[in-house]
Chains A and B, each alone.
Chain A
Amino acid sequence: MGKVIVITSGKGGVGKTTSTANLGTALAMIGKTVVIIDADVGLRNLDVVMGLESRVVFTSMDVIEKRCDLDKALVKDRRVEDLMLLAASQRNRKDDIKPEQMFDICERLREEYDFILVDSPAGIEQGFHNAAAGAEEAIIITTPDVSAIRDADRIIGLLQNQNIDPISLILNRLSPTLVKKGNMISKNDVLDILNIDLLGVVPEDEGVIASTNRGVPLVHNEQSPGAEAYMRIARRMTGQRVPIPEMREDNFFSNILNWFSRK
């Protein structure tokens, strides 16, 4: 029996889709069988980030309305074995799907796959409830911004009401240089407020933009600090003990930043 994990944030633009794509790919690279589900009906883009846009024929809506089998709607990844995408319908709206239907799809998938990652839409409305319906665990993505943290806090409250446990946190786009200057909220301050387990920290990485636009998840580029962070997180998700490195000023990543700012 696999695990169904919803990846959510409340606020938009903090990296839910990017994280889903990268964690799904990373887990599959480790050798797990993975399905990533786009729950953002009407505004789908997980297929674009994965570079699978042109291969989507059927969506979760087609499965729900029994136009095709679940197996047929799963799109195989181009690069990694055992990674599948279930795309969202672009023609429908979020309230066209009911939480029970989403739950049903997740239940069927977990019989065959190790990890089912559900990419939640932003917001706390029907789309979020659908995404969380089949999940037993949740990963909250937040950036170190007051607004993102506030929304994450709200979402944690809602997930706890649905008895989703454990709820863990990925702190995305942290810049150690800015933290040191006092211009960014630190990891410890975020944890202090949200008070949930930290699954990992992803540093600010310009490579994300290029990888998103090319439709190749960042983890394929082993050199990037963001990719390393996602690989570590994926290992932690499989139960391995991988320490969270303290991001210091003198690491590779900030050296580059320093080098730029010296010029």
Chain B
Amino acid sequence: MENAIVKLRGYKDGLHLIIKPKVSLKEVEEAIHELINGMNQPLEGTSVHIDMSTTPLTSADLMELETHLTEKYNLNVSGVNLIDDNEESPIIAAPAVHIIPHCLPTDNQQDYGHAEIVRQTIRSGQTTSSLTGSIIIYGDVNPGGEVVASGDIIVLGTLRGNAHAGANGRLSSVIMAMELVPLQLQIGSYVNRPPIGQKPRGYPEIARIGAENIIIVEEFIKF
């Protein structure tokens, strides 16, 4: 069983469907079929978390897999963990990625060079947004506070709340903060949250969309 293409494991946060790296979507689907048919108990209606490698499955494959699991086996995919098997990769925060459908029109080629400067801390319950460019904040964004920009978000303080860059669909947008310990990050229609209990690292960090459409967070050195 150790070498099986897919494994089902129960962890603290629920069932995890673990997919072996370097297999094709077709193999995965066959293996899932075998696994689920060979089980004594029905799985219908339960939630599973997918743990998979970043290669070679693409996000399109992932979406297809989700649809497959939902339609064929009536399983509810509660989240996806992408495990990176390449150690040199810049992924620091193990991302829990939830792909949500585009809710806003796609990039309409606005001038993202325009930036709005906010000279205050964004506190719980406060929202600051700019749908015509980027936002620079001279202060913190506290838990419960929210920043939304169609361009980039730069926080010259600690980002502890939510930030949504590229809100019109511009996926090249970035989120940067002197200390990046957000509740949630969103770039375009991709959402990511850091692992629970993450401590500030003590250096500036930048979040952007990397390969496979995952939001990656790395030490900020230059844009």
**Residues of A in contact with B (beta carbons under 8 Å apart):** 150-151, 153-154, 156-158, 160, 192-193, 195
Residues of B within 8 A of A160 (CB): 120
In contact, A157 and B140 (Cβ under 8 angstroms): no
Contact among B123, B143, B158 with A157 in the assembled complex (CB-CB below 8 Å): B123
- Report how far A209 CA is from B182 CA in the complex, Å: 38
24 contacts between A and B (CB under 8 A): A150-B143, A150-B144, A151-B124, A153-B123, A153-B124, A153-B142, A153-B143, A153-B144, A153-B145, A154-B124, A154-B125, A154-B144, A157-B123, A157-B124, A157-B125, A157-B126, A160-B120, A192-B158, A193-B140, A193-B142, A193-B143, A193-B160, A195-B121, A195-B140
The 0/1 profile, CB within 8 Å of A marked 1, for residues 179-204 of chain B is 00000000000000000000000000
Q: How far is the CA of A153 from the CA of B158 in the complex (A)?
A: 15
Contacts of A157 in B (CB 8 A): 123-126
Min CB gap A86→B, angstroms:
30
Contacts of B125 in A (CB 8 A): 154, 157-158
Report the Cα distance A21→B123, complex, angstroms: 29
- When each residue 136-164 of chain B gets 1 if its CB lies under 8 Å from chain A and 0 otherwise, what string results? 00011011110000000000001010000
Distance to closest chain A CB from B130 (angstroms): 19
A217 to B142, CA, bound (A): 35
In B103-127, which residues have CB < 8 Å from any A CB?
A: 120-121, 123-126
B124: A residues at CB distance < 8 A: 150-151, 153-154, 157
CA distance A41 to B142 in the complex (A): 31
Q: Mark B81-106, 1 if CB is under 8 A from A, else 0.
A: 00000000000000000000000000
B144: nearest chain-A partner, CB-CB = A150
Measured CB to CB, the closest approach of chain B to A210, in angstroms, equals: 34
Note all chain A residues with C-beta closer than 8 A to B142: 153, 193
Q: Which residues of A contact B145 (CB under 8 A)?
A: 153
Residues of B contacting A154 in the complex (Cβ-Cβ under 8 angstroms) = 123-125, 144
Give Cα distance in the complex from A154 to B127, angstroms. 11
Give every chain A residue within 8 A of B121 (Cβ-Cβ): 195
Closest chain A residue to B125, Cβ basis: A154
Q: How far is the CB of B206 from chain A (nearest CB, A)?
A: 22
CA distance A3 to B160 in the complex (A): 35
Measured between alpha carbons, how far is A195 from B125 in the docked complex, in Å? 16
**Distance between Cα atoms of A153 and B122 in the complex (Å):** 9
Name 11 extra pairs, CB < 8 A, besides A151-B124, A195-B139: A150-B143, A150-B144, A153-B143, A154-B124, A157-B123, A157-B124, A157-B126, A158-B125, A192-B158, A193-B140, A193-B143
